[in-house]
């Protein structure tokens, strides 16, 4: 799966975090090192296509970045200037030796944990992770989130300042904090994936860049932490979900629900990889929410037709998921599974328990699911109203179009009968 | 010169009674115009707003600002979406006319103010 078509761009994305990690390990200051890395990347993007890729690209980038760091320090305060000279006058360890050693796994992990520091806001964690660990430029991140480049630049600067203020250190978290900190990292990666997959505020249903970035970063975390079941589970979940992307929209960009998708268009390679990963993981590690969600995605992906879906199995998995990680969204999905096993009325009864839940009521998904189940129960008038309520509440244009169409089909049926 | 072409929420209201073909036709028209304006290089910005039932209005009540549910204007007159294009007024009116012919609901075309002082 190629995550970038341009070989230079792909190489730079891989090297950028390594360069940053090497600089931060030596100089500690994330904000200054990050600016220097970005300058080196810009230099590479302008020079490499003309002059060719240097023989030692990482060393080239490090040299340019260090020069930029020292320039920054020289033009800064006198205190910074002294530090700069100190750094400059430290050739004893033979820079070329260090530079050609890729940073070890702990350094990259430390960088990731730092970017996903719990004191930062979600949007800051996302932006920093994409830039520092993902090696994306500010312009690319801005385009992916449909915000002006200047806005994203500010957001990243603020995030770096927040890291300095929070006193977060470039050290791996202590052993007893790793699990909690890893939860934050995984939720940031999943958020990036979902932002790309559903494009909650954009004109297109898919922003390929963010989904593939999330998969690429999760692969990286998986390489760094091969013995964590939830990391593997999240990667499997992403692969098994993203595999359906080609069938999720029709030719004019409208949303196609799972049951109506042309399953021959699903990405068989991604499904194979996700299934193999999941088979290798389940039972070997403590079960967690990502492994369970991946298992549910796998049951869907393995069904040759929508009718062949093993709904009792999916319902059992949602029962477990609701115990492991209860949330209104899980209950909503469990209602769909329940409706497929015991009929739409059983699903609707479970949805009824969510009406009291504020967070669920605020989302349009409750009404969208209710519309589907009412339609299957034969209550077209109520179904149509539920679809229209959901259409008014959603913030996704493709989803709004889909719901409006769904509602209009029901009103037409009613007139004909 | 930049122009803003504005669509109003009344279109959404009239949508409820339309046939699936009409709704599909509207989506195709909108996507087509979006693509045309993007490819011609005329498009500056385009956004669709969420339904006006999602709006809140901040009013000055009892000497202080207070948020209340709902849009300020009549829902029918509430902004639903816009294109900003860099083109002639004639072209902006042409785009609006293409939509109005289909939706049978008014749209507004207005020049966007310049950020630059006039040349003297």
User: How do residues A14-61 score in pLDDT, each as one tens digit?
Assistant: 888 888 888 888 887 888 888 888 889 888 888 898 888 999 999 999
| Token code pair at residue A110 | 């430390």
Chain centre distance of CA A316:
27
Count CB pairs under 8 A between chains A and B. 40
Query: What's the confidence (pLDDT) of residue A66?
Result: 92
Confidence category of residue A398, pLDDT binned at 50, 70, 90: confident
CB–CB contact B31 A252 (8 Å): yes
pLDDT at position A142 is 83
| β B79-86/B107-111 pair status | unpaired
Distance of CA A106 to CAs A18, A102, A149, A225, B102, Å? 12, 11, 32, 10, 60
Residue B55 inside a domain? The answer is no
Residue B109 dihedral angles phi and psi, to the nearest 5°: -120, 125
pLDDT tier, A105 (very low <50, low <70, confident <90, very high otherwise) = low
> What is the pLDDT at residue A79?
55
Please enumerate in sequence order all residues whose Cβ is within 8 A of that of A32, keeping only pairs 6 or more positions apart, or say none: A69, A72, A73
pLDDT tier at B3 (50, 70, 90 boundaries)? very high
The mean pLDDT value of chain A amounts to: 84
Taking CB atoms and an 8 Å limit, are A401 and B50 in contact across chains? Answer: no
Q: For chain B, first and last CA: distance in Å?
A: 18
Residue B1 touches partner A, C-beta closer than 8 Å: no
A250: left (phi over 0), alpha (psi -120 to 50) or beta: beta
Other CB atoms within a 10 A radius of the CB of residue A88 amount to: 14
Residue B24's domain spans which residues? 2-49+79-111
Cα-based angle A63, A69, A74 (whole degrees, multiple of 5): 125
**Residue B120 maps to a domain:** no
Element (H, E) at B6: strand B2-8
Which residues, other chains included, contact A268 with Cβ-Cβ below 8 Å and sequence gap of 6+?
A: A243
Distance from CA of B120 to the nearest CA of A (A): 31
- The CA distance from A260 to the nearest CA of chain B, in Å, is 17
Q: Note the pLDDT of residue A321.
A: 96
pLDDT score recorded for residue A201 = 43
The predicted-structure confidence for A281-320, as pLDDT tens digits, reads as follows 998 988 999 999 999 999 999 999 999 999 999 999 999 9
- B14 in a domain, yes or no? yes
CA-based nearest residue to A192, from A208, A175, A180, A203: A208
Q: What is the DSSP string of B35-88?
A: HHHHHTT-EEEEEEPPPGGG-EEEEEETTEEEEEES-SS-GGGSEEEEEEEES-
Instruction: Give the pLDDT of residue A387.
Output: 94
Question: What is the Cα–Cα distance from A262 to A258, expressed in whole angstroms?
Answer: 9
Quick one: which of B95, A363, A201, B22 has its CA closest to B11? Answer: B22
pLDDT in the model for residue A8: 85
Contact of A284 with A304, CB cutoff 8 Å = no
Q: What is the CATH number of the domain that holds B93?
A: 3.30.70.1060
Structure tokens belonging to residue A91: 């050739």
Tell me the pLDDT tens digit for each residue of A207-251: 447 888 899 999 989 988 898 999 999 999 999 999 999 898 887
* Secondary structure string (H, E, C) spanning A68-103: HHHHHHHHCCHHHHHHHHHHHCCCCCCHHHHHHCCC
CA atoms lying within 13 Å on the CB side of residue B98: 17
Tell me which DSSP letter residue A249 carries. Answer: B
Query: pLDDT digit string (tens) for A244-265?
Result: 998 988 877 778 889 999 999 9
A368 versus B12: which is more confidently predicted? A368
The answer to whether A224 and A105 have CB atoms below 8 angstroms apart is yes
Question: How far, rounded to the nearest angstrom, does the alpha carbon of residue A237 sit from its chain's CA centroid?
Answer: 11
| Domain assignment present for B98 | yes
- pLDDT bucket at A401, cuts 50 / 70 / 90: confident
Give the number of other CB atoms < 10 A from CB of residue B18: 19
Contact A163, A24 (CB under 8 A): no
Q: Is residue B60 in some structural domain?
A: no
pLDDT above 70 as % of chain A: 85
Specify the pLDDT at position A95. Answer: 44
What is the pLDDT of chain B when averaged over all its residues? 88
CA separation for the pair B107, B94 (Å, rounded): 11
- Report percent pLDDT > 90 for chain A: 38
- Label residue A200 by pLDDT band (50, 70, 90): very low
Query: Looking at residue A2, what is its pLDDT?
Result: 40
Nearest CA in chain A to B81: A397
Number of domains in chain B: 1
pLDDT value at residue A74: 76
- Judged against a pLDDT cut of 80, whether residue A4 lies above it is answered with no
Determine, for residues B23 and A252 on separate chains, whether the beta-carbon distance falls below 8 Å. Answer: no
Which range of A99-103, A109-113, A163-167, B2-6 scores highest in mean pLDDT? It is B2-6
Angstrom distance (rounded) from CA A371 to CA A379: 9
- Is residue A201 helix, strand or coil? coil
pLDDT in tens, B51-94: 888 889 999 999 999 998 888 777 778 899 999 999 999 999 99
Best of B9, B11, B18, B47 to mutate (most A CBs within 10 Å, chain A)? B18
In this predicted model, which residue has the larger pLDDT, A248 or A102? A248
Distance CA A229, CA A242 (A): 20
Structure confidence at residue A172 (pLDDT): 73
What mean pLDDT do residues A374-384 have?
Answer: 95
pTM for the complete prediction? 0.78
Contact of A138 with A101, CB cutoff 8 Å: no
For residue A77, name the pLDDT band (cuts at 50, 70, 90): low
Whether residues B34 and A395 touch (CB distance < 8 A) is answered with no
A interface test, pick of B13, B22, B25, B31 with most A CB neighbours within 10 Å: B31
Torsion, Cα A273 A275 A276 A281, to 10 degrees, reads 120
Listed residue (A254, A202, A248, A392) closest to B28, CA to CA: A254
**B23 has a chain A CB within 8 A of its CB:** yes
Distance CA A238, CA A212 (A): 9
How far does CA A189 lie from the centroid of its chain? 4
Tell whether B45 is covered by a domain.
yes
Q: Is residue B90 situated within a structural domain?
A: yes
Do A388 and B16 lie within an 8 Å CB cutoff? yes
Cβ separation B53–A392 shorter than 8 A: yes
Reported as a single tens digit per residue, the pLDDT across B17-32 is 788 888 889 888 988 9
DSSP-H helix ranges across A327-378: 328-342, 344-352, 358-362, 365-376
Interface test with A, best of B9, B13, B23 (most A CBs within 10 A): B23
pLDDT value, residue B14: 67
Query: What is the distance between the alpha carbons of residues A137 and A213, in angstroms, rounded to a whole number?
Result: 13
The pLDDT tens digits for A311-364 are 999 999 999 999 999 988 899 999 999 999 999 999 999 999 888 776 655 578
B16 within a domain of the structure (yes/no): yes
Contact between A409 and B20 using a beta-carbon 8 Å cutoff: yes
Instruction: Say what the pLDDT of residue A80 is.
Output: 52
Is-contact A86 A128, C-beta < 8 A? no
Contact (CB<8Å) A405/B20: yes
Joined tokens for residue A179? 């699990």
């Amino acid at each position: 799966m190629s995550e970038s078509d341009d070989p230079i761009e792909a190489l730079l994305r891989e090297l950028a975090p390594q360069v940053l990690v090497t600089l931060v390990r030596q100089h500690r200051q994330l904000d200054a090192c990050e600016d220097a890395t970005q300058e080196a990347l810009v230099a590479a993007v302008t020079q490499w296509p003309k002059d060719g890729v240097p023989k030692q690209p990482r060393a080239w980038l490090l040299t340019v970045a260090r020069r930029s760091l020292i320039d920054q320090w020289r033009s800064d305060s006198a205190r910074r200037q002294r530090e700069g000279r100190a750094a400059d006058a430290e050739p004893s360890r033979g820079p070329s030796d260090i530079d050609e050693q890729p940073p070890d796994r702990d350094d990259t992990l430390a960088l990731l944990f730092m970017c996903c520091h719990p004191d930062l806001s979600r949007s800051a964690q996302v932006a920093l992770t994409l830039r520092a660990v993902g090696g994306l430029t500010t312009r690319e991140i801005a385009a992916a989130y449909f915000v002006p480049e200047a806005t994203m630049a500010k957001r990243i600067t603020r995030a770096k300042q927040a890291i300095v203020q929070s006193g977060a250190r470039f050290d791996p978290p202590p052993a007893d904090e790793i699990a909690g900190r890893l939860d934050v990292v995984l939720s940031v990666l999943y958020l990036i994936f979902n932002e790309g997959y559903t494009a909650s505020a954009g004109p297109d249903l898919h922003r390929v860049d963010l989904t593939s970035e999330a998969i690429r970063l999760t692969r990286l975390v998986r390489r760094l932490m091969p013995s964590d079941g939830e990391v593997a589970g999240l990667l499997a979940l992403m692969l098994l979900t993203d595999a359906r992307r080609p069938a999720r929209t029709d030719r004019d960009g409208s949303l196609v629900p799972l049951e109506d998708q042309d399953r021959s268009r699903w990405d068989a390679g991604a499904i194979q990889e996700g299934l193999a990963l999941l088979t290798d993981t389940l039972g070997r590690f403590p079960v967690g929410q990502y492994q369970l969600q991946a298992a549910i995605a796998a049951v869907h992906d393995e069904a040759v037709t929508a009718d062949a879906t093993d709904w009792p199995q999916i319902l059992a998995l949602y029962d477990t998921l609701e115990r492991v990680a209860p949330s209104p969204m899980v209950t909503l999905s469990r209602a769909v599974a329940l409706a497929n096993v015991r009929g739409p009325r059983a699903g609707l009864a479970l949805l009824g328990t969510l009406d009291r839940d504020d967070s669920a009521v605020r989302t349009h998904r409750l009404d969208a699911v209710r519309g589907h189940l009412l339609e299957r129960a034969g209550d077209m008038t109520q179904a149509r109203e539920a679809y229209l309520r959901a259409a008014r509440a959603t913030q996704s244009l493709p989803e709004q179009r889909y719901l409006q169409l769904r509602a209009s089909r029901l009103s037409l049926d009613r007139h004909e009968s | 010169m930049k122009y803003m072409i504005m669509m109003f929420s009344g279109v959404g209201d009239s949508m409820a009674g339309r046939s699936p073909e009409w709704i599909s036709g509207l989506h195709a028209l909108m996507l087509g115009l979006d693509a045309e304006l993007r490819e011609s290089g005329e498009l500056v910005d385009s956004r669709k707003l969420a339904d006006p039932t999602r709006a809140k209005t901040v009013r000055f009540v009892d000497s202080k600002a207070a948020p209340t549910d709902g849009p300020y204007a009549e829902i029918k007159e509430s902004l639903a979406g816009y294109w900003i294009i860099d083109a002639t007024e004639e072209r902006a009116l042409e785009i609006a006319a293409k939509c109005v012919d289909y939706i049978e609901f008014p749209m507004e075309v207005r020049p966007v103010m310049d950020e630059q002082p006039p040349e003297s």
